[in-house]
Amino acid sequence: MKRVAILSDTHGLLREEVREELKKADIILHAGDINTQAIVDEMKSYAPLYIVRGNNDKEWAASIPESIRVTIEGVRFFMVHNKKHIPKDLSEVDVIVYGHSHKYEEKEEEGVFMLNPGSCGKRRFDLEITMAVMTIEDGKFDIEKLLINH
């Protein structure tokens, strides 16, 4: 079984509650708007890290891809920052992870699970501060929304 921490839109801030979740993770997925190399380096120190570049990740992030595909325990992921950039052909994808809106969302569309973990960085408007934890075993997954209080 793998524990996957899924987050987005940290915007230069790793809250202590988020750090604790990252330390428990086997794998970390970050859907962009990281804002600093220091946060990338810190996340890499906790677990293998898969990241994409967000619209606020500028020159420092030139080597970070805009989208990636990764398979974890048989579950095929596609990750991109803005859901407007999700490709039409999703035949090889089980889960799409995206960010940008800062709003948590999970839904199924045409057999593909769509997940926006929300934002666990700086508070924006009056939106919840959230991330997600997915447990994966034998090609099946469960998702848990985490509400970050601090």
What are 13-43's pLDDT values in tens digits? 999 999 999 999 999 999 999 999 999 999 9
| CA angle at 28 for the pair 22 and 31, rounded to the nearest 5° | 115
What are 44-74's pLDDT values in tens digits? 999 999 999 999 999 999 999 999 999 999 9
3 state SS of 61? helix
Q: What is the DSSP string of 27-57?
A: EEEE-S----HHHHHHHHHHS-EEE---TT-
Q: Give pTM, 2 decimals.
A: 0.96
